[in-house]
Chains A and B, each alone.
Chain A
Amino acid sequence: MVGIVVVSHSQKLAEGVVDIAKVMAENVPIVAAGGLEDGTLGTSYDRIHDAIESVYSEEGVVMIADMGGSIMTIEIVLEDMERENIVMLDCPLVEGAILAAVESKNGRNLEDLKDFVERARATKKLSD
């Protein structure tokens, strides 16, 4: 299964998103990388790096982030790791994490999963 890392400035938010996604896909390798080591808000290079290692397999890993500094820090971690099968998804945090978890459980490969989740990002919450 494709691994999933949820990155947020807040550890609580990242863990909450993981909890919500896991309800839909129990055994999927999905972990949170949120906040700084001292518990304050921010993004930690080491936490992101370690989170990736903890869910990494040959099938690859997708990264889902909240905003700004998270994305920049992920970019640097990925540049340092130099592995082509770790990619960022451009999607909303909660919906993206749920979709990614379900599709990972369904056995979608990395490329298809990325494509699928990103195609769903324009979905409206309220119909008009």
Chain B
Amino acid sequence: MDTKQLLAIIHAIAKKVEAEKDYLSQLDNEIGDGDHGINLARGFKAVEEKIQTFADKDIGAIFKGVGTVLVSTVGGASGPLYGTAFMKAGNVCKGKMTITAEEFTAALDAAINGIKMRGKAVEGEKTMLDALCPAYKAIKESIDGGKNLIDALTNGVDAAAAGVEYTKTIIATKGRASYLKERSLGHQDPGATSSLYMLQMTLKTLKEA
């Protein structure tokens, strides 16, 4: 993956988040405060506006730049969480103009660990981690098994989609939805859904490149 592809991925995520803004907010309305789509759309709009200032830098700096903008513009819990994720991915890719499939996997791992650290959450608490952790596992296994990044991401997206479905079957124990206790059952987690979109857009963009 090179910087041009990464910028295209970020652009695709921004477009997707804007397109699904109402749907994400509706999901959040059921078990939260109904702003997840608004939050992310505001954040990625700001990313699109500021991306010029770091677009010519290395992959690490681009990830970091995106993370910094998200932290200061999203406004909801997903801001510090996704912001930390992008910043941690940036640390792994520091100074690199291209990254290998292995480095991409390591960046995803660092991003997920960043979310766990910031949110003090683990898998199974009905959060974005329930999409991201299974996706990471599938991607890592695929890469270790000799698959290329596109095939690995295809498996990762499938695993994330299954993870999103799984969030309907569990009770939230982190974030706003945890106030609802068992009434959070049957509802799909908005953050897991937006994480799925990010992985989908990564795959779609790399396929088109």
Contact B79 A73 (CB under 8 A): yes
- Alpha-carbon separation in the docked complex, A83 to B74 (Å): 25
| Interface pair A46/B72, CB less than 8 Å apart | yes
- What 1/0 flags go to B23-48 for Cβ under 8 Å of A? 00000000001010001000000000
The answer to whether B176 touches A42 (Cβ under 8 A) is no
* B33 lies within 8 A of A41 (CB): yes
Q: How far is A73 from B70 in the complex, measured between Cα atoms in Å?
A: 11
Choose one: B72, B75, B77, B78; the contact of A40 (CB below 8 Å).
B75
Q: Check if B118 sits within 8 Å of A68, measured CB to CB.
A: no
Q: Residue on A with the closest CB to B87? A: A76
Contact B119 A72 (CB under 8 A): yes
A38-56 near B? 1/0 per residue, CB < 8 Å: 0011111110000000000
Q: What number of A residues sit within 8 Å (CB to CB) of B?
A: 14
Pairwise interchain contact B72-A69, C-beta atoms closer than 8 A: no
Contact A44 B119 (CB under 8 A): no
In the docked arrangement, what's the CA distance between A44 and B72, Å?
6
What does the 1/0 interface line of A72-90 toward B look like (CB < 8 Å)?
1101100000000000000
Residues of A within 8 A of B74 (CB): 42
Q: Is the CB of B72 within 8 A of A45?
A: yes
Instruction: Tell me the chain A residues, 50-73 only, with Cβ under 8 Å from chain B.
Output: 68-69, 72-73
Within 8 A of A (CB), among B162-184: 175-176
Beta-carbon contact of A68 and B75 below 8 Å = no
Residues from chain A with Cβ under 8 Å of B81 in the complex: 72
**Of the residues B35, B39, B72, B118, contact of A72 by C-beta under 8 Å:** B118
Partner of B80, one of A36, A41, A75: A75
* Given A44-B72, A69-B76, A75-B118, 15 new contacts (CB under 8 A): A36-B75, A41-B33, A42-B35, A44-B75, A45-B71, A45-B79, A69-B80, A72-B77, A72-B81, A72-B84, A72-B118, A73-B71, A73-B79, A76-B84, A76-B118
29 of the cross-chain contacts (CB-CB < 8 Å) are A40-B75, A41-B33, A41-B35, A41-B75, A42-B35, A42-B74, A42-B75, A42-B76, A42-B79, A43-B79, A44-B75, A45-B72, A45-B79, A46-B72, A69-B77, A69-B79, A69-B80, A72-B79, A72-B84, A72-B119, A73-B71, A73-B79, A73-B80, A75-B118, A76-B71, A76-B80, A76-B83, A76-B84, A76-B118
